[in-house]
Structure 1
């Protein structure tokens, strides 16, 4: 009887392992991936509202925020932070998420308003996204999805 050795399975790459882990770098990587998708949605809606619908930059930014924040909440709750809370805890986290992203929205809107005085609003929006990103990650990790 001949014994066949088990098939060799290559070790997962360090990046893949970190990306899928629940440690800090895994959460940061997933937050970044969600952030990229969220940014695309945010920017695309902003440009559409500003350029096609001819809304003022701050109004277009508000519409884009309202659409993107819903996507961001669902993805960050279910995938980035793997939060399985239900009931009052889930409602509390939803309110905290909205409040923390509102802070990021205000900071980004201030950057958009100031930068729009010097550059095209579509360029200023990119700077406002950067300001919001930093605030949103810090508040999501330390306030919204912390262990309760």
Structure 2
């Protein structure tokens, strides 16, 4: 197939290290999409129980961060990083606070400044997720799952 040939040529031009990084980034994006679904579902559940747009978002972010850490550990960066799982989770959450700042800041600005987004907060969640994704990938790859150490607990 022509598409396979084109992909193969692209990967050959990138070389093995960049191809591996591209694969990780694409898996990170898939995991992020799952995290987005968790984030949105928990936000709407939080709204239903009265947490409000901002408190609900903090809870939904923590739920999504835990989900994405687990999936990134098991799939995106399998076999990378080391140390106890709880320590790695804590480092993931701390390192991803940079992405959270972009994520939550984008969300809060849109909810506060765009009435349509306040009525449909999923738009703010999506915009925030995109704003934080690249920074989260770079920081997670380097500080949480850095190196090519085997395992972790």
TM-score by length of 1: 0.74
Q: Secondary structure at the match of 1:116?
A: helix
Q: Give the superposed CA RMSD.
A: 2.7
Q: Which residue of 2 aligns with 1:9?
A: none
1:116–1:41 CA distance, 2 compared to 1 (3 A): same
Structure 2 unaligned blocks of 5 or more:
12-16
- What whole-Å deviation, never above 9, does each CA across 1:17-48 have from its counterpart, x for those lacking one? x8xx9811221121111111111111121123
CA contact (8 A) 1:78 1:84 kept: no
CA contact (8 A) 2:80 2:145 kept: no
Provide the C-alpha distance between the structure 1 equivalents of 2:125 and 2:146, rounded to a whole number of angstroms: 29
Q: Secondary structure at the match of 1:82?
A: coil
TM-score by length of 2: 0.72
Structure 1 unaligned blocks of 5 or more:
1-12
- What whole-Å deviation, never above 9, does each CA across 1:25-81 have from its counterpart, x for those lacking one? 22112111111111111112112322x223221211111111111111111011101
- Greater share of helix residues, 1 or 2? 2
Provide the C-alpha distance between the structure 2 equivalents of 1:49 and 1:111, rounded to a whole number of angstroms: 19
Higher relative contact order (CA 8 A, sep 6+): 2
Provide the C-alpha distance between the structure 2 equivalents of 1:73 and 1:92, rounded to a whole number of angstroms: 12
2:134 matched to 1:139?
Answer: no
Q: Which residue of 2 aligns with 1:53?
A: 49
CA contact (8 A) 1:58 1:109 kept: no
Q: Say how many residue pairs are matched.
A: 132
Matches within 5 A, 1:95-134: 95-119=90-114, 120-121=117-118, 122=121, 123-134=123-134
For the pair shown, which has the larger CA radius of gyration, 1 or 2?
1
1:79 to 75, 81, 87: 75
Q: Secondary structure at the match of 1:24?
A: helix
